[in-house]
Amino acid sequence: MSNSFLTSPIPKNEPVKSYGPKSTEKREIKAMLKKLKKEKRDIPMFIGGKRVTTNKKVAIHPPHEIKHTLGHYNRGTKKHVNDAIKSALSAKDAWAAMPWQDRAAIFLRAADLLCGPYRARMNAATMLGQSKNIFQAEIDAVCEMADFFRYNVKYMTDMYAMQPESVDGIWNTLEYRPLEGFIFALTPFNFTSIAANLCAAPAMLGNVIVWKPSESQIYSAEVIMDLFEEAGLPPGVINLVYVDGPTAGDVIFNHKEFAGLHFTGSSGVFNHLWKTIGNNLPKYKSYPRVVGETGGKDFIIAHPSANPVEVAVACIRGSFEFQGQKCSASSRAYIPKSMWSAVKKKMTADLKSIKTGTVEDFTNYVNAVIDEKAYDKITSYIKAAKKDKGAKVILGGKFSKTNGYFIEPTVILASDPKYTTMCTELFGPVLTIHVYEDKDWSKTLKLVDETSPYALTGAVFSDDRAALLEANYALRNAAGNFYIND
Q: Which residues of 181-220 are buried (b: 16+ CB within 10 A; e: fewer)?
A: bbbbbbbbbbbbbbbbbbbbbbbbbbbbbbbbbbbbbbbb
Cα–Cα distance measured from residue 1 to residue 166, given in angstroms and rounded to the nearest whole number: 23
pLDDT of residue 28: 98
| Choice among 288-292, 358-362, 477-481 with the minimum mean pLDDT | 477-481
Is the confidence at residue 10, as pLDDT, over 60? Answer: yes
pLDDT of residue 30: 98
The domains spanning 24-293 and 298-484 adopt the same CATH topology: no
126-133: average pLDDT: 99
pLDDT of residue 4: 74
274-303: average pLDDT: 97
Percent of the chain with pLDDT over 90: 97
Q: Please indicate whether residue 423 is annotated as part of the active site.
A: no
Q: Please indicate whether residue 327 is annotated as part of the active site.
A: yes
**Cβ burial, residue 97 (10 Å; 0-12/13-18/19+):** exposed
The CA–CA distances, whole Å, from 160 to 154, 163, 176, 377, 447 equal 10, 7, 7, 46, 44
Three-class SS of 358-385: CCCCCCCCECCCCCHHHHHHHHHHHHHH
Q: Which of 327, 360, 408, 425 is catalytic?
A: 327
Q: What are the residue boundaries of the structural domains of the chain, listed by start?
A: 24-293, 298-484
372-395: average pLDDT: 98
For 24-293, CATH number out of 3.40.50.10540, 3.90.78.10, 3.40.50.720, 3.40.605.10 equals 3.40.605.10
Which residues on adjacent β-strands are paired with residue 73? 43, 58
Pairing of strands 258-264, 238-240: unpaired
Q: For residue range 466-477, list pLDDT tens digits in order.
A: 999 999 999 999
For 298-484, CATH number out of 3.30.720.120, 2.60.220.10, 3.40.309.10, 3.40.50.2300 equals 3.40.309.10
Cα–Cα distance measured from residue 104 to residue 355, given in angstroms and rounded to the nearest whole number: 42
Q: Which of 25, 28, 229, 293 is catalytic?
A: 293
Is the confidence at residue 455, as pLDDT, over 90? Answer: no
Is the confidence at residue 2, as pLDDT, over 70? Answer: no
276-298: average pLDDT: 96
Is the confidence at residue 454, as pLDDT, over 90? Answer: no
70-78: average pLDDT: 99
Helix axes of 218-231 and 119-130: crossing angle, nearest 10 degrees: 160
Question: What distance separates the 2 farthest-apart alpha carbons in the chain?
Answer: 79
pLDDT of residue 5: 76
Cα–Cα distance measured from residue 288 to residue 276, given in angstroms and rounded to the nearest whole number: 12
Q: What is the pTM for the complete model shown?
A: 0.96
Q: For residue range 325-339, list pLDDT tens digits in order.
A: 999 999 999 999 999
Report which DSSP code applies to 424.
Answer: S
Neighbours of 443 (CB within 10 A): 10
35-63: average pLDDT: 98
> In degrees rounded to 5, what are phi and psi of residue 160?
-65, -30
190 conformational bin, left if phi > 0, alpha if psi -120 to 50, beta if neither: alpha
Is the confidence at residue 1, as pLDDT, over 70? Answer: no
Q: For residue range 264-273, list pLDDT tens digits in order.
A: 999 999 999 9
- The residues, any chain, with a CB within 8 Å of residue 286's CB and separated by 6 or more, are 179, 180, 181, 259
